[in-house]
Amino acid sequence: MFNENGDAPGRYDIFQYQLSNVSNPGYKVIGQWTNHLRLNPEEMQWSGGDRKVPESVCSFPCESGERKKMVKGVPCCWHCEFCDGYQYLLDEFSCDMCPFNMRPFKNRTGCRETPIIKLEWSSPWAIIPVFLAILGILATSGVIVTFIRFNDTPIVRASGRELSYVLLTGIFLIYLITFFMIAEPSTGVCALRRLLLGLGMCISYSAMLTKTNRIYRIFEQGKVAVSPPKFISPGSQLIITFILIGAQVLGVFVWFGVSPPHTIIDYEEQKPPNPEFARGVLKCDMGDLSLILCLSYSFVLMITCTVYAIKSRGVPENFNEAKPIGFTMYTTCIVWLAFVPIFFGTAQSTEKMFIQTTTLTVSMSLSATVSLGMLYIPKVYVIIFHPEQNVQKRKRSFKAVATAATVSIKSLDKPNGESKIVPDRSQ
């Protein structure tokens, strides 16, 4: 037999490769061809074991949050693309970005408000700084009370009562600023941050700089003359200290006038690729540069004080506090040298505000603790536990100071550091 085309009629079995749980995978007959097609749909099997014949379509409808990207030249075919990042589905063919203060819904059908966060008192980033600040405030208050109680004893008088109280006030403010750095930002809190952030350090280092400068000038003057230098009285020292402090206060009030303090919500600081984790951070209008500028004057005072402490390191121990102040400044410089890379190294972190606030407050508390521990705790220990040592020592005239300075210079000039100090019998 031949068909109309002169070809012999074909006879074919139609197979389908199937996977079955009851038999080994293989080809199964699902129909025949003898001049026309005969199929057994009930014998067919599709992906996943489904027996329903799949529809023959070019593109399926897109899921929620997906836009249609049309195939060029085929008007009824498209690809489905998900609106990624902070985009939402504007219409079936396009996505659009959410406003800067919003994030998309999970199904990308619209935008919603981004949650606002701030540093909480219960946060681990706040607990450690607050704990250190509370301990520091209690210790500083104890030193102040002890000094007031024993105000007329020789140790308190010898430490320079006036500058000591100024220095202790600065240390107290350094600890206190921790609470304002963690408190919920408001106009008042932001103003106090600007004022107190650099003021406590400025007061402390101004007082220490005035002390070390006084010691340095006395012994430098003693090398060339027996007359004391100018401005070494307690009143003069206070005036110099308050002038140095006044520069910081004036700068802050100029800052107030140029840019009044206010709060902002930073939506960029915690904006990760996944919008579900996006947060707006409530903070004061103090950027990294503003914060460093606020502390820069205190850093200048600190470095200058360190220089004078180094210059005064050879002064006889019985005459001054140069050595304790020197050790204090060396340690403080190490603390702040460690602070700088941590502070700026976390600028790209999603938890930047928390890390930087904790780093700053802990560094300030440590620097205050160093000053308190090296300059005043030994004095309080003697006052309370060894009152027999809190006695009046023989006063030294400026002539004695000058003699000590001259002997110190001569001893440094000897080749092996050998010196023979002849006591001044005229004192």
78-82's contacts with Cβ under 8 Å and 24+ in sequence apart are 82/108
> What tens digit of pLDDT does each residue of 145-182 get?
999 998 888 888 877 788 889 999 999 999 999 999 99
101-104's contacts with Cβ under 8 Å and 24+ in sequence apart are 101/265, 101/267, 101/280, 103/275, 103/276, 103/278, 104/275
Number of residues that this document lists for the chain: 427
> What tens digit of pLDDT does each residue of 8-54 get?
878 899 998 887 666 678 888 989 988 788 988 888 887 766 777 77
Domains and CATH numbers, the chain: 13-49 (no CATH), 66-113 (2.10.50.30), 117-413 (1.20.1070)
Strand duo 116-117 + 279-284: pairing: parallel
Q: Which residue, 279, 277, 282, 213, is CA-closest to 244? A: 213
Distance CA 82, CA 69 (A): 10
Distance CA 392, CA 122 (A): 50
176 against 308, higher pLDDT: 176
DSSP 274-340: SGGG-EEEEEES--HHHHHHHHHHHHHHHHHHHHHHHHTTTS-GGG-SHHHHHHHHHHHHHHHHHHH
> In degrees to the nearest 10, what's the CA dihedral of 426, 318, 227, 303?
170
> What tens digit of pLDDT does each residue of 90-147 get?
988 899 999 999 999 988 889 999 999 988 898 888 999 999 999 999 999 999 999 9
Question: Could you tell me the pTM of the whole model?
Answer: 0.74
User: Token pair of 291, please?
Assistant: 């914060």
